[in-house]
Amino acid sequence: EPEVTQTPSHQVTQMGQEVILRCVPISNHLYFYWYRQILGQKVEFLVSFYNNEISEKSEIFDDQFSVERPDGSNFTLKIRSTKLEDSAMYFCASSEETGLRGNTIYFGEGSWLTVV
């Protein structure tokens, strides 16, 4: 079964450093997403991306965050200057262009970011 893959699985970074989390969405998918889950909290939507631009973003997705699809396969989340509160599991997800809402969103296994 096709899957969304994420790297790294775990990253520890110093506060103030830049972090790039990488994702390879399912190959025929056209919508891409990032979510995060702070330990013990709910999964939160960050951003959706379609046709090489952000289609929707949440309040969490402020100027320190950016997303990019640098080539035909990767989808990245960059955090410019990490803060302690950015420590979380970051999930990449992708979906087909068409389909019932919600049920075609496939999640990766997550990248656990620890900011120290």
Partner 1 sequence: DQQVKQNSPSLSVQEGRISILNCDYTNSMFDYFLWYKKYPAEGPTFLISISSIKDKNEDGRFTVFLNKSAKHLSLHIVPSQPGDSAVYFCAASLYGGSQGNLIFGKGTKLSVKP
Residues that bind partner 1 in the complex, under the rule CB under 8 A? 4, 31, 33, 35, 41-45, 48, 55-56, 58, 91, 93, 95, 100-110
Q: Based on CB atoms, which residue is closest to partner 1, 48 or 87?
A: 48
Closest CB to partner 1 among residues 33, 65? 33
| Nearer of residues 31 and 65 to partner 1, judged by Cβ | 31
**Phi (first) and psi of residue 85, to 5 degrees:** -75, 0
> CA 30, CA 41: separation in Å to the nearest integer?
28
Nearer to partner 1, 15 or 43 (CB): 43
Which residue, among 50, 52, 48, 34, has the nearest Cα to 89 in the 3D structure?
A: 34
Least distance in Å: CB of 42 to partner 1? Answer: 5
The sign one gets for the Cα dihedral 75, 73, 89, 103 is positive
Instruction: For residues 59 and 65, give the distance between their C-alpha atoms in angstroms, rounded to a whole number.
Output: 11
